[in-house]
Copies of this chain bind each other. A is one copy, B any other.
Amino acid sequence: MSKNPKKVKTMADIARLAGVSPSTASRALRNSPLISQETIDRVKSIAAEHAYRPHLGARNLRTKKSNVIVLILPFNYADAEVLANPYIFKIVGTIGSKLREHGYDLLLSKMDDINELIDDRYIHSGIAEGAVILGRGDNNPEKIQKLVRTGVPFVILGPKLDNQNYCSVGINNLASACTAVKHLANMGRRRIAIVSDNQENQLSEPYLRFQGYLKALNDLNMPIDQNLIAISTHSGNSGYDAVQQLLSTAPDVDGIFVATSDVVAISVLQALKIAGKRVPEDVAIIGFDNIDLCDFTSPPLTSISQRLQDGVADSLVERLLDQIKGDKADSLMLDGTLVIRQSCGSLIKDFA
């Protein structure tokens, strides 16, 4: 509309055009009760006419807010393996959506060095106000404690640990794994294997899931057999190796809990078929994450939902914003939900 909108950039320009001071213009644009309605209307209409937008960098500098949250991904950007997991993507989308409702943008980062990233590079430098950390990854407790001491607001997506002095939101990995394994047993499986990834870190999710597996067997008075334990990476083809191993060491395996992820579970499914096993007739499978694709494998894959849409994302965002406001935030741990499809041999279609 206007001939040269390029000329009008700052609030001072708007103020000049409206015949008021910059402070009045600032207040008018923010509907300050200090300013008369007449002035507010005039300033606003001039601002609108020139498509004026405040410079958020300048505002942020003054107000010490940035309206940005860093999202720390549990891996290197270039790490195609884990990045290919649709579950991570779902997390990004769901949490991003919630944060946006509160006026926050999401900045992507990776977990090369959690201290460097959060403390120095992002928060103290004014880029972001807080962080969402997707899982503890390989970070040892000391590293997280260093982060806690900086006072940076953050929430970790993951299970709550014993004596934890920071905020996390997630599902009970141990209990959920236990539920999955017990379900396989309830369906009549007696030789239940686990496929899991690196458990070096005793506080990690893989470790907790493995403990859940052990607990279930223990509760059921079933023996623990090393031949039924296989290790995977997060790669989409690591299920092949795991199946090969299991079929050679325990050819009578009749159930597999794939604790790593659904992505690996799907490759386990394929590998079993290639090996001539029927799923679920010969071998039942349960995965972890409940990705959308579970509905479309054959047979559809039973899996544990981390309840992103169903409490976790909302609570996580709420608790992060609480901390930014200066309040303390408690951790939250929900029970995972077993979403039953055909791969586990159940006839039940859905499970409350």
Q: Are B93 and A80 in contact (CB under 8 A)?
A: yes
| Contact (A125, B295) CB under 8 Å given A77-B97, A86-B86 | no
A30 within 8 A of B: no
B105/A105 in contact, CB under 8 A: no
**Whole-angstrom distance from the CB of A194 to the nearest CB of chain B?**
20
Pairwise interchain contact B120-A51, C-beta atoms closer than 8 A = yes
Cα of A105 to Cα of B121 in the assembled complex, Å: 11
Q: Please tell me if A22 contacts chain B, counting CB pairs below 8 Å.
A: no
Do residues A89 and B83 form an inter-chain contact, with CB atoms below 8 A? yes
A237-B96 CB under 8 A given contacts A56-B125, A88-B89: no
Interface presence of A127 (CB below 8 A) = yes
Please name the residue on chain B nearest to A97 by beta carbon. B77
Question: Which residues of the other chain, B, contact A58 by a CB distance below 8 angstroms?
Answer: 61, 126
For A127, the chain B residues whose CB sits under 8 A away are 56-57, 105
- CB contacts under 8 Å to B, within A108-126, are 108-110, 120-121, 124-126
How close is A318's CB to chain B, nearest CB, in angstroms? 17
Q: How far is the CB of A352 from chain B (nearest CB, A)?
A: 21
Identify the stretch in A224-232, A266-274, A280-288 within 8 Å (CB) of chain B at 4 or more residues.
A266-274
**With A84-B291, A106-B108, A125-B57 as contacts: A93 and B78 at CB distance below 8 Å:** yes
Known contacts: A80-B90, A296-B266. The answer to whether A107 contacts B109 by CB under 8 A is no
Chain B residues near A278: list those with CB within 8 A. none
CB of A55 within 8 Å of the partner chain: yes
* In the complex with contacts A89-B86, A296-B237, A96-B77 CB distance below 8 A: yes
Please, how many angstroms separate the alpha-carbon atoms of A51 and B60 in the complex?
23
- Residue of chain B at shortest CB distance from A79: B93
**A92 adjacent to chain B (CB < 8 Å):** yes
When distances are taken between beta carbons in the complex, the residues of chain B under 8 Å from A68 are 107
Inter-chain contacts of A124 with B (CB < 8 A): 9, 53, 55
A66 within 8 A of B: yes
Cβ-defined contact, A296 with B126, below 8 A = no
A266: contacting residue among B85, B105, B125, B293, CB under 8 A = B293
Complex Cα distance, B122 from A56, in Å, reads 9
B54 engages A125 (CB within 8 Å): yes
Cα–Cα, bound, A131→B313 (Å)? 27
User: How distant is A145 from chain B, measured CB to nearest CB, in Å?
Assistant: 16
Q: List, in ascending order, chain B residues with CB within 8 A of A270's CB.
A: 296-298
A297→B271 CA distance, assembly (Å): 10
* Pair B108/A292 contact, Cβ less than 8 Å: no
Beta-carbon contact of B266 and A126 below 8 Å? no
CB distance from A294 to the nearest CB of B (A): 10
- Chain B residue nearest to A86 in the complex (CB): B86
A sample of 29 cross-chain residue pairs with beta-carbon separation below 8 angstroms, ordered by A number, consists of: A9-B124, A53-B120, A53-B121, A54-B125, A55-B125, A56-B125, A56-B127, A57-B57, A57-B61, A57-B126, A57-B127, A61-B61, A77-B94, A77-B97, A77-B100, A79-B93, A80-B292, A84-B86, A84-B89, A85-B86, A92-B108, A236-B293, A236-B296, A237-B296, A266-B296, A267-B296, A273-B298, A274-B298, A293-B293
Q: A-side interface residues toward B, CB under 8 Å?
A: 9, 51, 53-58, 60-61, 66, 68, 76-80, 83-86, 88-90, 92-94, 96-97, 100, 105-110, 120-121, 124-127, 236-237, 263, 266-267, 270, 273-274, 291-293, 295-298
